[in-house]
Amino acid sequence: MNALIVLLILFLTGCFEQQTPPADSLFRGGVIYTADASQSVASAIAIRDDRVVYIGSDESAAGFIGPKTEVTELQGKMIIPGLHDVHVHLPGIVQTDGCDLASLPFSLEELVPRLKTCTADIPPGEWLLVNQWSFTWGNEPSQRLPTLRAALDAVSTEHPIVLLGNDGHHGAANSYALRLATDKNGVQIGLSAATLANQFAKYRELVATDASGEPSGGLNEDARKLVNVPNLWGYPEIDLSLYQRIGQRLASLGITSVLDAALTTKEIDSFATMAQQSPLTWRMTAAFFAEFEDYRPQPDQAIDVDKLVTELQAVQKKYRDIENLKIDTAKVFVDGVIEGDPYSNPPTLPNAAVLNYYLQPQFSTDADTGRVSVTGYVDPDSSDCAAPQTNIPAAHCVKSKGILEKEQAFIHNYTLALYAAGINVHSHAIGDRAVRVALNAFEAAQIASPDSQATVAIAHAQLVHPDDIERFAALNVFPAFTYAWIEPDIDYLMTVSPFIDPIMSEDDLFNPNGYAYQNSYPVASILAAGGKPTAGSDAPVDTRDPRPFFNLEKAVTRHNDRTGHIYNPEQRISVRDALDAYTINGAMALRQDHLTGSLEVGKKADFVILNHDLLALETEGNTTEISETQVIATWFDGHEIYRAD
């Protein structure tokens, strides 16, 4: 009897195996990071149509091999899930034909001849828009050119010129452009000390000035709009060529899902039109963004939140049937950026919204190296600042905690309306006060609409107060970090830290007791508290290259390879956790983790083959080599869409 039972079991097992359809493709002999709940690793994966049908050992994978199965021997190479860049600006990730500084540092003397070449074919009176200007590197003044305004005037007095910062927040203009500034009624009155004190008073913290109070060229955030720049972002029109180049760029980097973090209705229309002509080769979530000032019934009235939500819903309905395109997210700018300008005299303060007043450092510039150092601090509460006549410029006596991009009531109400409508909220918040404002709005939205399925996210979260760390997990807020920015560069840190902590030497930048040092990009703390960090390159900010493996490396190391500095090593995370940020956590933030984000049976076959094993680099202590990783192939929907030459 026992023998008969054994034979019956073998017979039935054989029948079951014969009924298992073979896979279209099988990969084995590799290191496959699944990004599942256990962060497990397999050696083989099988694909049928557009889905994963097997993940596990090489031995068990044999049952999925049929006469037409394409078998790939990985020979120790690594497979990871398709990467999710959940904060990127797609129109800017490919090179344009315009005047472009490519984020390279130029002193003001070097900037002039470089830009003169851009004016050669532009008729007098027409705009020169300069893309990818680096605000935080270069721009060293000279005796001849003490300000950005002077440098741009030296380029041309016959063209309005605007530098468009590679961070999307800073800009600079020449005198011609400054004269074009118009008031709220559209009357051209120019930007000057007089109009800054009157018609443009609310923009005072966003306009760089010299010691006499006259604009020195720098225009930040909405102040850039005062001069009526024809294209504030510098992005080209989205045609089929640009659209296809975007897809090729993403595939070459292993990126199969994105959130474009700010698209207008017109830009969404363009992407949707292109997707109808040529199907998307990536999963695209569009974050709706509008020029909010256009939604004020009158210049001094509140922004019409209902009109904004209605317009977004109309766009959603219009394009709901386009495959791989979702329009289920809205972008909210809570504040600006936390970099100040040490070359301006007096220094321009950061404008990110912070909990404590910014300090007022005084800088000097080394004539040979162009490097800045702090020589002292001005106390805005001192008798010198209180005196009616003083040698200290008035701007050096300002007490500022930065600004919110719009009224706090609008940020609150718009967040609540979006969440109630089931629309994901993606909020840009840099300073610790802005992060708290965003978190408070999310909490209120969840109380008001407890049944909403929307997700909430904070992009950047550069400075987070310790009291707010646990709120990320409690409110299920996804922080979208750009890990490349954690790399500690002295020149960059000098645009931030001296305005937050007393910095009298470069060593002070790495003082473990410093508030900025302790609380900048607190990735590990949020993770330890149960939060789910995600990853967003923010390209073309800083660079047009989304550089996912550079970002992965900096999440793991927080290390500067040139100087050896590590910025708060306690906030480093493991390779597995960094990969999760770029995969499963990103998929959760985009509400598509039922389809992507991990390599599990039944999910979409979106994955990337790498030239080496990132986990082995960690084991061997070679994590500074992660950025050298090369993508061998990218698969999307069960098909190879990229293979390296």
| 330 strand-pairing partners | 288, 425
- Percentage of residues of the chain with pLDDT beyond 90: 77
Query: Comparing 26 with 184, which gets the higher pLDDT?
Result: 26
What value does the mean pLDDT of the chain take? 93
Query: Comparing 259 with 390, which gets the higher pLDDT?
Result: 259
Q: Is the pLDDT of residue 385 over 50?
A: yes
Question: How would residue 2 be classed by pLDDT, with cut points 50, 70 and 90?
Answer: low
Q: Is the pLDDT of residue 11 over 70?
A: no
Q: Is the pLDDT of residue 452 over 80?
A: yes
Per-residue pLDDT, 6: 45
What one-letter code names the amino acid at 559?
H
Per-residue pLDDT, 211: 81
What is the arithmetic mean of pLDDT over 331-356?
Answer: 93
Q: Is the pLDDT of residue 174 over 60?
A: yes
Q: Per-domain residue ranges for the chain?
A: 23-82+603-643, 97-227, 240-334+405-589, 360-397
* Fold matches, 23-82+603-643 and 240-334+405-589: no
Per-residue pLDDT, 19: 62
Structure token digits, residue 267: 């830009």
Model's pTM, two decimal places?
A: 0.91
Question: How would residue 225 be classed by pLDDT, with cut points 50, 70 and 90?
Answer: confident
E-strand spans in 103-234? 128-133, 161-165, 170-173, 207-209, 215-220
* Strand bridging mode 607-610 / 128-133: unpaired
Question: How would residue 388 be classed by pLDDT, with cut points 50, 70 and 90?
Answer: low
Per-residue pLDDT, 10: 47
What is the rounded CA–CA span in Å between residue 578 and residue 572?
9
Per-residue pLDDT, 389: 63
pLDDT tens, position by position, 29-81: 999 999 999 999 999 999 999 999 999 999 999 999 999 999 999 999 999 99
- Percentage of residues of the chain with pLDDT beyond 70: 97
pLDDT tens, position by position, 619-643: 999 999 999 999 999 999 999 999 9
Query: By mean pLDDT, which of 210-214, 401-405, 451-455, 513-517 is the weakest?
Result: 210-214
CATH topology (fold) of 240-334+405-589: TIM Barrel (3.20.20)
What is the rounded CA–CA span in Å between residue 74 and residue 393?
66
570: Cβ–Cβ under 8 A, 6 or more apart, which residues?
524
**Of 632, 598, 594, which Cα lies nearest the Cα of 613?**
632
What is the arithmetic mean of pLDDT over 182-192?
Answer: 89
Per-residue pLDDT, 167: 80
* Strand bridging mode 534-535 / 607-610: unpaired
441: Cα separation from own chain's centroid: 21
Q: Is the pLDDT of residue 424 over 70?
A: yes
**Of 535, 531, 528, which Cα lies nearest the Cα of 586?**
535
Q: Is the pLDDT of residue 1 over 50?
A: no
Per-residue pLDDT, 236: 80
522 exposure class (CB count in 10 Å sphere: 0-12, 13-18, 19+)? buried
Q: Is the pLDDT of residue 7 over 80?
A: no
- Greatest pairwise CA separation for the chain in angstroms: 109
CATH topology (fold) of 23-82+603-643: Urease, subunit C; domain 1 (2.30.40)
Quick count: other Cβ atoms within 10 Å of Cβ 295?
Answer: 18
Cα angle vertex 580, ends 444, 443, to 5°? 5
Contact 22, 61 (CB under 8 A): no
Q: Is the pLDDT of residue 27 over 60?
A: yes
Q: Is the pLDDT of residue 542 over 80?
A: yes
| DSSP structure class, residue 510 | G
Cα angle vertex 349, ends 345, 350, to 5°? 145
